[in-house]
C-alpha cells in the first residue's frame, strides 16, 4: 500500500484549489481580469495544475472576444460622388485597395446592451445638387485625339457606406470565427488534458485498489489461518491448564507431607538445639578455663625469665577475660613493685646524662610504666621526680607519654596475634586497654 500521506494535499495545493474555485466564480460573473489574477496565483503555488492552465486559456480567449465586441470598427462614410470624370489611371495589376483605418472607440461595459447603429442617410438629389454646384468647374476638355489610347475605368474609387458596413461585418465574422476556433481548440486541449488526467487517476485508483485488494486478501488469509489455528491453540491451552493444575496439586500434597514431617521433627530438633546450646556453653566454659590457665603459665614463665614487660600482656588478657582474677592481680602488683625499684636505680644513673640521653631515658621510663597498665600514684610520683631531675618540658612529656601509650598498645596487639587469639576474642581486651591508656582507636593505629 502507498503511504496515505502522499494522497493528502499539501497546504500549497489546498490554497491553489481555493484560488481556482474563486477564479471559476469570477469567470461565471464575466470578471475576466480578477479571474485571471486568481489563476496566476494558483499557478504560482501549483505550476503543474493543468486545470489552471485550461482556465487561463479560456479566460484569455473570452477576454479577447469581449474586447473585440466592445471595440467595433466605425463605419466609414464615403465621400460624395463627383459627376465630372476623373482622369484615367491605369492601376497596378497586383495592388489592392487598402481598407480604411479602424478608429478605436471608447470601451463599453460588458453588461451594456449592444448599441443599434443608425443607417447612414442617403443623399437625395436635392442635397446632391448643392454639393455638385459647390465643386469647382472642371477645366475645358481638349478635343479628343483620335490617336490617343482609350481611357481605363477607375479602380481606386471610395467604397459606399453599404460596402464599408458589409466589409466590417465580414471582418467581424472572421474575427469571431477565429476566436471561436481558438476557444474550441483551448476547450479541446483542456478536455484532452482532463481525459488524460482522468485516465492517470483511474490507473492510480486501479493500482491502489489492487494493492488494497491484495492487503485485504492477505488479512483475510491471516484471519482464516488464525481461525484454523484457534481449535489447536485452545486444545493446547486446555492441556497446559490441566498439567498446571496437576503440578499444583502434586506440590500441595508434597508441601502438606513436608509440614507433617516437620511438625513431627520439631520436638526432636528443639531437644537437639537445647543439647547443642548446653554443649556450647560447657565448651566455652572449658575453653575459658583453659585459656586462663595457658595465659597464667605464660606469664609465670616470663616472670621467671625476668621479662616483666612481656609478662604483663598475658596477665592483662586474664583480667580482661575474667575481671578480678586474684592470682593475675597479685602477679601484676609484684611486677610493678619490681619495676619501681628498677626505675629508682635507673633514675640515679641518669642524673649526669646529656639532654638527648635524658629525653631518651624519660621516654624509656614512660614506656616501661605504661607497658603494665596505667601508672598508679606511686609510679606517677617516681616519674614526676624523674621528669624534674631531667628537666623535661610539658611538650616533651606529652610526646613521650603518647609514644609510650602507642608502644604499649602495639605490643599488646602483637602478642594477641602471635598467641593465636581471634580478632573477635581479642577486641574486648584491646578496647579495655585503649580505655586504660586513654587513646582512641585512630590514634592507636597511627
**Residue 412 lies inside a defined structural domain of this protein:** yes
Where does the pLDDT of residue 98 fall: very low under 50, low under 70, confident under 90, or very high at 90 and above?
A: very low
Between residues 260 and 145, the one the model is more confident about: 260
**Residue 30 lies inside a defined structural domain of this protein:** yes
Residues 42 and 187 reside in one and the same domain: yes
Would you say 316 and 429 are in contact if contact means Cβ atoms under 8 Å apart?
A: yes
Would you say 189 and 54 are in contact if contact means Cβ atoms under 8 Å apart?
A: yes
**pLDDT for the residue numbered 146:** 43
**Residue 264 lies inside a defined structural domain of this protein:** no
Where does the pLDDT of residue 19 fall: very low under 50, low under 70, confident under 90, or very high at 90 and above?
A: very high
Q: Please name the residues in contact with 131: beta carbons below 8 A apart, sequence gap of 6 or more.
A: 80, 123
Select from 216, 240, 269 the last residue of a domain: 216
Residues 212 and 358 reside in one and the same domain: no
Collapsing DSSP states into helix, strand and coil, what is residue 84?
coil
Q: Let me know the angle formed at the C-alpha of 145 by 140 and 149, rounded to the nearest 5 degrees.
A: 110
φ, ψ for residue 350 (rounded to 5)?
Answer: -95, 10
Residues 46 and 182 reside in one and the same domain: yes
Would you say 368 and 310 are in contact if contact means Cβ atoms under 8 Å apart?
A: no
The reply to whether the predicted model has a pTM over 0.75 is no
| pLDDT tens-digit series, residues 391-442 | 888 888 888 888 888 888 788 788 777 777 777 777 887 787 777 777 777 7
Between residues 311 and 244, the one the model is more confident about: 244
Averaged pLDDT, 57-83: 69
The total number of structural domains in the chain stands at: 2
**Residue 99 lies inside a defined structural domain of this protein:** no
**Residue 378 lies inside a defined structural domain of this protein:** yes
Select from 188, 216, 244 the last residue of a domain: 216
Collapsing DSSP states into helix, strand and coil, what is residue 74?
coil
**Residue 254 lies inside a defined structural domain of this protein:** no
Residues 324 and 422 reside in one and the same domain: yes
Select from 157, 186, 216 the last residue of a domain: 216
Range of the domain at 192: 9-72+177-216
Between residues 76 and 399, the one the model is more confident about: 399
Residues 211 and 313 reside in one and the same domain: no
Alpha helix segments (H runs only) across 305-354: 308-321, 326-349
**Residue 355 lies inside a defined structural domain of this protein:** yes
**Residue 439 lies inside a defined structural domain of this protein:** yes
Q: Please check the confidence at residue 41 and state whether its pLDDT lies above 90.
A: yes
| pLDDT tens-digit series, residues 330-380 | 888 888 888 777 777 776 665 555 677 778 888 888 888 777 677 778 778
Residues 194 and 312 reside in one and the same domain: no
Residues 200 and 335 reside in one and the same domain: no
**pLDDT for the residue numbered 361:** 84
Residues 313 and 194 reside in one and the same domain: no
Would you say 416 and 317 are in contact if contact means Cβ atoms under 8 Å apart?
A: yes
Q: How many CB atoms lie within 10 A of CB 309?
A: 15
Q: How many CB atoms lie within 10 A of CB 282?
A: 10
Domain at 36, CATH number: 1.25.40
How far is CA 60 from each of CA 12, 37, 110, 221, 407, rounded to the nearest angstrom? 25, 11, 15, 57, 118
Q: Cell numbers at residue 201, please?
A: 487517476
Between residues 309 and 321, the one the model is more confident about: 321
Q: Please name the residues in contact with 86: beta carbons below 8 A apart, sequence gap of 6 or more.
A: 154
**pLDDT for the residue numbered 278:** 85
Residues 208 and 333 reside in one and the same domain: no
Average pLDDT, rounded, for the chain:
75
Q: Let me know the angle formed at the C-alpha of 376 by 304 and 390, rounded to the nearest 5 degrees.
A: 90
| pLDDT tens-digit series, residues 297-307 | 888 888 888 88
How far is CA 57 from each of CA 62, 173, 184, 185, 195, rounded to the nearest angstrom? 9, 21, 11, 10, 17
Give Cα 184 distance to the centre of its chain: 58
Amino acid at each position: 500500500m502507498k503511504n496515505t500521506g502522499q494522497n493528502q494535499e499539501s497546504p500549497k495545493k489546498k490554497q491553489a484549489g481555493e484560488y481556482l474555485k474563486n477564479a471559476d466564480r469570477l469567470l461565471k460573473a464575466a470578471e475576466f481580469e480578477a479571474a485571471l489574477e486568481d489563476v496566476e496565483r494558483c499557478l504560482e503555488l501549483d505550476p503543474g495544475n493543468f486545470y489552471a492552465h485550461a482556465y487561463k486559456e479560456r479566460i484569455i480567449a473570452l477576454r479577447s472576444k469581449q474586447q473585440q465586441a466592445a471595440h467595433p470598427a466605425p463605419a466609414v462614410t464615403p465621400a460624395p460622388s463627383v459627376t465630372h470624370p476623373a482622369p484615367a489611371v491605369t492601376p497596378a495589376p497586383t495592388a489592392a485597395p487598402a481598407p480604411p483605418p479602424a478608429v478605436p472607440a471608447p470601451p463599453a461595459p460588458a453588461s451594456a446592451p449592444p448599441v443599434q447603429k443608425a443607417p447612414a442617410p442617403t443623399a437625395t438629389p436635392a442635397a446632391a445638387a448643392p454639393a455638385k454646384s459647390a465643386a469647382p468647374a472642371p477645366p475645358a476638355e481638349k478635343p479628343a485625339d483620335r490617336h490617343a489610347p482609350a481611357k481605363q475605368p477607375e479602380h481606386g474609387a471610395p467604397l459606399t457606406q453599404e460596402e464599408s458596413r458589409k466589409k466590417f461585418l465580414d471582418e467581424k465574422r472572421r474575427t469571431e470565427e477565429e476566436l471561436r476556433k481558438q476557444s474550441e481548440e483551448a476547450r479541446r486541449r483542456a478536455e484532452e488534458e482532463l481525459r488524460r488526467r482522468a485516465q492517470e487517476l483511474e490507473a492510480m485508483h486501479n493500482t491502489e485498489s489492487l494493492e488494497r485488494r491484495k492487503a485485504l486478501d492477505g488479512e483475510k488469509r491471516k484471519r482464516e489461518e488464525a481461525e484454523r489455528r484457534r481449535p489447536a491453540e485452545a486444545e493446547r491451552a486446555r492441556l497446559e491448564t490441566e498439567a498446571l493444575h496437576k503440578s499444583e496439586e502434586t506440590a500441595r500434597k508434597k508441601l502438606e507431607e513436608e509440614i507433617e514431617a516437620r511438625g513431627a521433627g520439631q520436638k526432636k530438633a528443639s531437644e537437639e538445639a537445647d543439647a547443642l546450646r548446653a554443649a556450647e556453653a560447657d565448651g566455652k566454659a572449658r575453653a575459658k578455663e583453659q585459656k586462663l590457665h595457658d595465659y597464667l603459665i605464660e606469664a609465670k614463665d616470663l616472670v621467671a625469665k625476668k621479662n616483666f614487660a612481656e609478662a604483663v600482656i598475658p596477665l592483662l588478657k586474664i583480667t580482661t577475660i575474667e575481671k578480678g582474677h586474684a592470682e593475675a592481680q597479685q602477679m601484676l602488683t609484684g611486677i610493678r613493685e619490681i619495676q619501681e625499684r628498677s626505675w629508682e636505680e635507673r633514675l640515679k644513673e641518669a642524673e649526669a646524662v646529656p639532654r638527648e640521653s635524658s629525653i631518651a631515658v624519660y621516654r624509656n621510663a614512660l614506656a616501661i610504666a605504661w607497658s603494665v597498665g596505667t601508672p598508679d600514684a606511686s609510679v606517677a610520683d617516681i616519674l614526676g621526680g624523674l621528669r624534674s631531675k631531667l628537666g623535661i618540658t610539658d611538650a616533651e612529656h606529652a610526646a613521650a607519654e603518647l609514644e609510650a601509650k602507642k608502644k604499649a598498645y602495639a605490643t599488646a596487639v602483637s602478642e594477641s596475634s602471635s598467641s593465636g587469639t581471634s580478632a573477635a576474642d581479642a577486641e574486648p581486651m584491646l578496647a579495655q586497654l585503649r580505655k586504660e591508656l586513654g587513646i582512641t582507636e585512630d590514634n592507636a593505629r597511627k
